[in-house]
């Protein structure tokens, strides 16, 4: 399990954050000048250079969102202009993309961050530009919410696999739906029926909490507190749940750690978002107490599982049930080894999960649960203490990636394996790099006593 360093403080990261943003600037420029955009969106690196992989277009918002975060952290306006212009010229198809569930990834990372910066006064206010960003977010959230499957206990936003498929990933992408709601969008269906976007978002969160997360309550033989399934499969004829499954993990009965991390971060930030509501606003949806209870249970369970089933230094292997782990001895009680002969680590899960740990820790501390809040907070700092240093921080000026040892799709064999190795290592991903920047910005703002960083800062 993670050996939590209780002595770490945000101030301990001052020098490393400066190094991080210096390296980040280099990587963004490398991609901008060297990547062939005719190939499609950059997804992950092969021998240090970003390449693409045609599956779905879900990473382009991370590319341009990274430039926007770089401006936010450093004030370098060249990155603001890069992110703004690329959003204007390239991102429109992602707003109306009816074939994916990833709207919160692509569009909140771009239009959402640009609107947030304007709301915060970090960019010059312009009424029409604000309206442009707001319209993009309104439509994006509505398109995402239209991917709707009704089941026995409610409904959910289905994945690109089809109406039977609930992905755990989408809890983090649900930001698009709630922003659309809070921006006042009126979403209409057949016969002009008005569909409440907050209701859809909450139903999806509840479905994810109920079916994607396990609580050690006897659902199946492999039911452990906080374990997650990448995919939950439903019978669309009668609305019944059928089984857990996995697209990118080892099996539906093991835990793909990036999916776990999406849940950690997604539930924690939705708790923060819903805490901005008046308690009476949630009465039509079961009431604040009920909603907070299932979100908090899922957030705590997934963060606990991450702490318990991740090696001592906070970097997880790609799946907690990966078969090669059995050959690695007491691997959980020593630092993860990205160069081993059996199973790869996934640093992108660490970048995503660390933010969930920090946000949940702060949320609990502010509610008066200081002991547990501090545990999650310090666990998050412990992860970053490893992630923001070599061998995970990419210091090679010729490598386009920022965070090394990320994994995309181990079962499909998509990740680059060096000739001398039995496993993939040494490469980066667009989502891993983006989320490392996001959590670095989060920590920097805490350190500098700046406004607290949230996706719903776009509403302020």
- CATH number (domain holding residue 384): 1.50.10.10
Is 134 in contact with 185 (CB distance < 8 Å)? no
Flag whether 189 is in a domain: no
pLDDT in tens, 62-112: 999 999 999 999 999 999 999 999 999 999 999 999 999 999 999 999 999
Flag whether 191 is in a domain: no
Flag whether 266 is in a domain: yes
Residue 369: per-residue pLDDT: 98
Residue 460: per-residue pLDDT: 78
Residue 420: per-residue pLDDT: 93
Q: How many CA atoms lie within 13 A of 255 on its CB side?
A: 27
- pTM for this model (two decimals): 0.98
Task: Please report, rounded to a whole number, the percentage of residues in the chain having pLDDT higher than 90.
Answer: 97
Q: How many CA atoms lie within 13 A of 104 on its CB side?
A: 24
Flag whether 190 is in a domain: no
Is 84 annotated as ligand-binding?
no
Flag whether 84 is in a domain: no
Flag whether 278 is in a domain: yes
Residue among 34, 59, 159, 54 nearest 110 (CA): 59
Overall domain count for the chain: 1
Q: Mean per-residue pLDDT for 345-352?
A: 98
Q: Which residue has the tokens 């819903």?
A: 274
Is 414 annotated as ligand-binding?
no
Domain range spanning residue 211? Answer: 10-54+162-167+197-459
Q: How many CA atoms lie within 13 A of 26 on its CB side?
A: 17
Flag whether 336 is in a domain: yes
Q: Which residues pair with 165 in a beta bridge?
A: 233
What radius of gyration, in Å, describes the C-alpha atoms of the chain?
Answer: 20
Residue 335: per-residue pLDDT: 98
Is 423 in contact with 417 (CB distance < 8 Å)? yes
Residue 72: per-residue pLDDT: 98
Q: Where are the alpha helices (DSSP H) in 57-98?
A: 60-74, 77-90, 92-95
Is 262 annotated as ligand-binding?
yes
Flag whether 126 is in a domain: no
pLDDT of 54 > 80? The answer is: no
Residue 53: per-residue pLDDT: 84
Q: Where are the alpha helices (DSSP H) in 91-163?
A: 92-95, 103-106, 113-119, 127-145
Provide CB contacts within 8 A for 318, sequence distance 6+.
249, 256, 257, 258, 343, 344, 345, 346, 349, 407, 410
Residue 65: per-residue pLDDT: 98
Residue among 105, 137, 168 nearest 432 (CA): 105
């Amino acid at each position: 399990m993670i050996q939590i360093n209780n002595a770490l403080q945000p101030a301990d990261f001052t020098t490393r954050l400066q190094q991080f943003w210096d390296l980040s600037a280099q990587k963004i420029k490398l991609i901008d000048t060297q990547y062939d955009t005719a190939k499609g969106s950059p997804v992950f690196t092969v021998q240090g250079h970003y390449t693409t992989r045609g599956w779905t277009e879900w990473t382009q918002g991370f590319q341009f969102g990274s430039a926007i975060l770089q401006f936010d952290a450093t004030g370098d306006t060249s990155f603001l202009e890069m992110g703004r212009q690329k959003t204007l010229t390239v991102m429109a198809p992602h707003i109306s993309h009816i074939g994916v569930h990833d709207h919160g990834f692509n569009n909140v990372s771009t239009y959402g961050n640009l609107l947030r910066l304007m709301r915060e006064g970090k960019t010059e206010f312009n009424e029409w530009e604000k309206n442009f960003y707001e319209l993009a977010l309104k439509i994006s959230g509505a398109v995402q919410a239209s991917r709707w499957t009704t089941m026995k206990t409610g409904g959910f936003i289905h994945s690109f696999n089809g109406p039977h498929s609930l992905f755990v990933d989408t809890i983090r992408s649900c930001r698009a739906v709630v922003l659309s709601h809070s921006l006042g969008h009126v979403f209409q269906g057949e016969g002009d029926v008005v569909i409440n976007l907050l209701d859809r978002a909450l139903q999806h969160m509840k479905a994810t909490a109920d079916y994607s997360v396990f609580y050690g309550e006897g659902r199946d033989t492999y039911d452990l507190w906080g374990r997650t399934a990448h995919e939950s499969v439903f019978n669309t004829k009668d609305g019944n749940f059928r089984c857990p499954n996995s697209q990118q993990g080892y099996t539906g009965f093991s835990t793909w750690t990036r999916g776990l991390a999406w849940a950690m971060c997604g539930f924690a930030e939705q708790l923060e978002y819903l805490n901005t509501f008046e308690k009476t606003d949630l009465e039509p949806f079961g009431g604040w107490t009920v909603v907070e209870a299932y979100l908090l249970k899922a957030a705590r369970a997934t963060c606990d599982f991450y702490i318990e089933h991740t090696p001592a230094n906070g970097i997880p292997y790609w799946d907690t049930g990966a078969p090669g782990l059995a050959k690695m001895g007491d691997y959980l009680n020593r630092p993860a080894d990205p160069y081993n002969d059996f199973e790869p680590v996934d640093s992108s899960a660490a970048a995503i999960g660390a933010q969930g740990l920090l946000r949940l820790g702060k949320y609990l501390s502010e509610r008066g649960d200081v002991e547990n809040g501090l545990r999650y907070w310090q666990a998050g700092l412990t992860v970053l203490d490893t992630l923001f240093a070599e061998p995970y921080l990419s210091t090679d000026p010729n490598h386009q990636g920022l965070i090394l040892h990320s994994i995309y799709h181990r079962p499909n064999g998509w990740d680059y394996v060096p000739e001398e190795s039995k496993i993939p290592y040494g490469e980066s991903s667009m989502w891993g790099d983006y989320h490392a920047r996001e959590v670095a910005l989060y920590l920097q703002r805490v350190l500098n006593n700046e406004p607290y960083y949230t996706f719903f800062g776009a509403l302020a």
